[in-house]
Amino acid sequence: MSRNNLVDMSKQAPDLQRVVSDITDEMRQRSERGAVATYIPELARVDAKSFGLVVIDAAGNVAASGDCDQPFSIQSVSKVFTLTLALGKVGDRLWQRVGREPSGSPFNSIVQLEFERGKPRNPFINAGAIAVTDVILSGNRPREALGEIVRFIRLLADDPSISIDEAVAASEQRTGYRNFALANYMKSFGVLDNAVETALGVYFHQCAIAMSCRQLAMAGRFLAFLGRDPSTGHSIVKPERARRINAIMLTCGHYDGSGEFAYRVGLPGKSGVGGGILAVAPGKGSIAVWSPGLDTAGNSHLGTIALEALSNRLGWSVFGQLS
Ligand code: GLN
């Protein structure tokens, strides 16, 4: 038993551990792994063969395999945590700035912003996430806003060692031309309160937070269990807020691949271009997978296949669960 009341799954629930280990073995043998993101040069250095998978169930059992303790760049998975923080700060007023409809567009697309007068479709496309970060930034210095985000994630994961990979942040800062375009465009419509450079500085750093699958699965548990940390009973958000964040993950968490992910996996999930996906099986467990190769929509290729297999074998789809 660890300090989180978590239990090594291999002894407690061998079936779940077996499923997780089997899927990892299957994924290791695949030759088609997708393409590692290169538009952030530092991300291109990652070993494309890496693969990690962790499931934490309601009882706190942890089933882990592969490179499950190797930190990777969480990138857009951070947007789940910043959305939670921003909703905690301004509540439903957030929706005056950001919509909650799927975009049907790539994560860094600018086309809808013109038609919709600078209001991003949802908090998970880049424009929406930059607007959410701008809300967290208001009234804070950039360092404080970033500190708040990192502290929140450390608290959720119950791990004070989580930190920012400065090389990744600097790499994106140097090459983030699209994000500068998106932020400038929103600023011209008055959607951002803070300076474009400041909002983007915080955004690039939040995306550069490095976490392992084990830490990410821990951090996602409150979404699987009605806003509570099931091992301590601490409430992070109200149940209705957890449900709504899950709804946005399901409909928008994989950009223009969100419908496909819902169809194949059937779970709320949020991907990042670092190859990580956090998925939530309400009432059942929290899942993190990492495989750096991406599909054409920018979502982890093998990560999606692994989650599809996991949700099938465990019967965890939200569209019809096995008991
Ligand atoms: N930091 C990345 C970007 O802004 C995040 C994108 C992603 O993970 N889909 O381009």
Find where tokens 């086309």 sit.
111
Q: Atom 4, ligand 1: which residue's CA is nearest?
A: 126
Q: Is the CB of 256 within 6 Å of ligand 1?
A: no
Report the percentage of the chain scoring pLDDT > 90: 89
Find where tokens 């959410």 sit.
132
Q: Is the CB of 75 within 6 Å of ligand 1?
A: yes
* Assigned token pair, 196: 């474009």
Q: What is the mean pLDDT of the chain?
A: 94
Distances (CA, A) of 298 to 56, 107, 301: 25, 8, 8
Provide the CATH number for the domain formed by 3-72+211-314 in this structure.
3.40.710.10
Q: Which atom of ligand 1 is nearest to the CA of 204?
A: 1
pLDDT reading at 106 higher than 50:
yes
Going by C-alpha positions, the residue among 109, 253, 105 that lies closest to residue 178 is: 109
Distances (CA, A) of 154 to 32, 63, 119, 210, 311: 34, 21, 31, 11, 27
CA 315, CA 323: separation in Å to the nearest integer?
8
The reply to whether 76-207 shares the fold of 3-72+211-314 is yes
Mean pLDDT of 306-316: 96
Do 300 and 277 form a contact (C-beta atoms < 8 A)?
A: yes
pLDDT reading at 1 higher than 80:
no
Distance (Å) from CA 133 to ligand 1 centroid? 13
Q: Model pTM greater than 0.85?
A: yes
Q: Is the CB of 60 within 6 Å of ligand 1?
A: no
Q: Is the CB of 126 within 6 Å of ligand 1?
A: yes
Distance (Å) from CA 272 to ligand 1 centroid? 6
- pLDDT at residue 254, as a whole number: 97
Q: Domain 76-207: which topology?
A: Beta-lactamase (3.40.710)
Mean pLDDT of 54-59: 95
* Assigned token pair, 100: 């909650």
- Delimit the domains of the chain by residue range: 3-72+211-314, 76-207
pLDDT of 198-256, one tens digit each? 999 999 999 999 999 999 999 999 999 999 998 888 999 999 999 999 999 999 999 99
Query: Residue 22's pLDDT band (boundaries 50, 70, 90)?
Result: very high
**Residues in Cβ contact with 159 at an 8 Å cutoff, skipping those fewer than 6 apart:** 215, 218
- pLDDT at residue 205, as a whole number: 98
Mean pLDDT of 145-151: 98
